């Protein structure tokens, strides 16, 4: 069975759109406009939590049957670096052009650590591309999972349990107040990646009971969580990451479990438009804030005085332009780079390339 599960792409589209509309609502509040985007979507940053759970699931999916190999560990890490960094650097370049145009480039460079930002290294300095803090977490997840790949697959459940225990124990000992690298290692958001990996173990081993119920409960939990978490949690940092993890990790894990289970066992197929939007989701995530920030500058003089319908139109234009940039970036940069990296990886790691293990038939 292919590693590409269409429902996962649809969930990536959902996650990216949640973050997109969260930021559109933020722009509306900043500019004192009559909100066209519902206020609860301010907490659409929960799309990040969904992305993290998806990442954990995908890591288990793509490495099934390939654990216990140095070659496969190297191949995995190469593919993750090639997937994350080139497109990220592209949008850093676009951001630099935007900052230069607005005269704020020098301020951004002074306020941040450019080398740490480009390397996605944890730092207390401001990230050059603000959304990149999530990629710092992603790269940490990938580095740890690369170490797990070196060991036989039978150890993976115990490694994940030990990793989760380490995070909880570190937080109990005050690691959340330590230097950036230590804070990253013990950040509660890591539990979302681990939750996704546990979902992956259940699904690929055939333990897929109650997919409909799981999806319904997960979506309900996500919506209720977005309404209940409160504005004081609309930031990042370990002080707030515990509440968001406890609220969104279970909901997002149930969503992934349910959506994938429905596809594997009940013939559900995500709509084509959602799959395509999921394909563009990384570029959409990285580029949307540049787009809506630029358009908001044009709209700001009238946004505070316009009608609600004017602001609805502005929100539609911002979302549409963000999707258009994502499509352009994916079509003409991201997809070609991924293809070139895959060909290079196949040459570098061609000596040993075992077939991935099959997804087990349903046993629950």
* Residues counted in the chain: 364
- Tens of pLDDT, residue by residue over 149-176, are 999 999 999 999 999 999 999 988 888 7
The rounded distance, in Å, linking the Cα atoms of 242 and 238 is: 6
Task: Please give the pLDDT value at position 163.
Answer: 98
Predicted confidence (pLDDT) at residue 104 exceeds the cutoff of 90: no
- Mean pLDDT along residues 287-309: 79
The rounded distance, in Å, linking the Cα atoms of 144 and 337 is: 24
Q: What DSSP designation does 45 have?
A: G
Predicted confidence (pLDDT) at residue 272 exceeds the cutoff of 80: yes
Q: Yes or no: say if 309 and 34 are a contact pair by the CB < 8 Å rule.
A: no
Within a 10 A sphere around the Cβ of 356, how many other Cβ atoms?
Answer: 17
- Mean pLDDT along residues 40-54: 88
- Mean pLDDT along residues 342-362: 75
- Mean pLDDT along residues 34-63: 87
Comparing CA positions, the residue from 183, 213, 222, 165 lying closest to residue 48 is: 222
Helix, strand, coil abundance in the chain, percent, nearest 5: 75, 0, 20
Computed over every residue of the chain, the mean pLDDT equals: 89
Task: Please give the pLDDT value at position 233.
Answer: 53
Predicted confidence (pLDDT) at residue 1 exceeds the cutoff of 50: no
Token pair listed for 94:
């676009």
Task: Please give the pLDDT value at position 4.
Answer: 77
Predicted confidence (pLDDT) at residue 2 exceeds the cutoff of 60: no
Residue in the structure block whose two tokens are 């480009």: 118
The rounded distance, in Å, linking the Cα atoms of 243 and 231 is: 12
The rounded distance, in Å, linking the Cα atoms of 261 and 212 is: 8
Task: Please give the pLDDT value at position 3.
Answer: 59
**CA atoms within 13 A of residue 175's CA, in its CB half-sphere:** 15
Predicted confidence (pLDDT) at residue 353 exceeds the cutoff of 70: no
The rounded distance, in Å, linking the Cα atoms of 150 and 144 is: 10
Task: Please give the pLDDT value at position 65.
Answer: 86
Map residue 249 onto helix, strand or coil: helix
CA distances for 311 relative to 34, 157, 287, angstroms: 7, 49, 21
Check residues 225 and 230 and name the one with the higher pLDDT: 225
- Tens of pLDDT, residue by residue over 181-206, are 999 999 999 999 999 999 999 999 99
Token pair listed for 8:
């996962």
Predicted confidence (pLDDT) at residue 117 exceeds the cutoff of 50: yes
Predicted confidence (pLDDT) at residue 34 exceeds the cutoff of 80: no
Q: What DSSP designation does 271 have?
A: -
Task: Please give the pLDDT value at position 133.
Answer: 95
């Amino acid at each position: 069975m292919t590693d590409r599960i269409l429902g996962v792409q649809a969930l990536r589209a959902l996650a990216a759109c949640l973050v997109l509309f969260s930021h559109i609502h933020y722009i509306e509040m900043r500019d004192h406009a009559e909100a066209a985007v519902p206020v609860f979507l301010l907490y659409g940053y929960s799309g990040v939590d969904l992305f993290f759970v998806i990442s954990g699931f995908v890591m288990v999916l793509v490495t099934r049957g390939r654990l216990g190999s140095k070659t496969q560990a190297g191949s995995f890490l190469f593919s993750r670096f090639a997937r994350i960094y080139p497109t990220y650097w592209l949008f850093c370049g676009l951001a630099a052009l935007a900052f230069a145009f607005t005269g704020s480039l020098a301020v951004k460079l002074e306020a941040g650590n450019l080398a740490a930002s480009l390397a996605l290294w944890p730092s207390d300095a401001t990230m050059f591309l603000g959304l990149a803090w999530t990629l710092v977490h992603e790269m940490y997840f990938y580095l740890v999972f690369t170490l797990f790949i070196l060991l036989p697959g039978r150890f993976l459940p115990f490694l994940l349990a030990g990793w989760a225990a380490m995070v909880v124990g570190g937080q109990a000992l005050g690691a959340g107040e330590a230097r950036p690298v230590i804070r990253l290692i013990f950040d509660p958001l890591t539990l979302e990646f681990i939750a996704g990996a546990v979902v992956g173990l259940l699904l690929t081993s055939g333990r897929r009971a109650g997919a409909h119920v799981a999806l319904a409960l997960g979506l309900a939990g996500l919506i209720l969580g977005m309404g209940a978490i409160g504005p004081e949690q609309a930031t990042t940092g370990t002080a707030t990451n515990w509440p968001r993890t406890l609220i969104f990790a279970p909901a997002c894990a149930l969503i992934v479990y349910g959506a994938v289970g429905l596809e594997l066992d009940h013939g559900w197929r995500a709509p084509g438009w959602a799959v395509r939007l999921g394909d563009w989701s990384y570029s959409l995530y990285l580029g949307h804030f540049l787009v809506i920030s630029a358009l908001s500058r044009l709209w700001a003089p009238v946004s505070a005085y316009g009608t609600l319908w004017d602001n609805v139109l502005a929100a539609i234009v911002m979302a549409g332009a963000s999707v258009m940039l994502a499509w352009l970036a994916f079509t003409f940069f991201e997809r070609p780079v991924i293809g070139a990296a895959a060909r290079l990886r196949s040459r570098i790691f061609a000596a040993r390339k075992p077939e991935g293990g099959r997804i087990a038939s349903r046993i629950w």
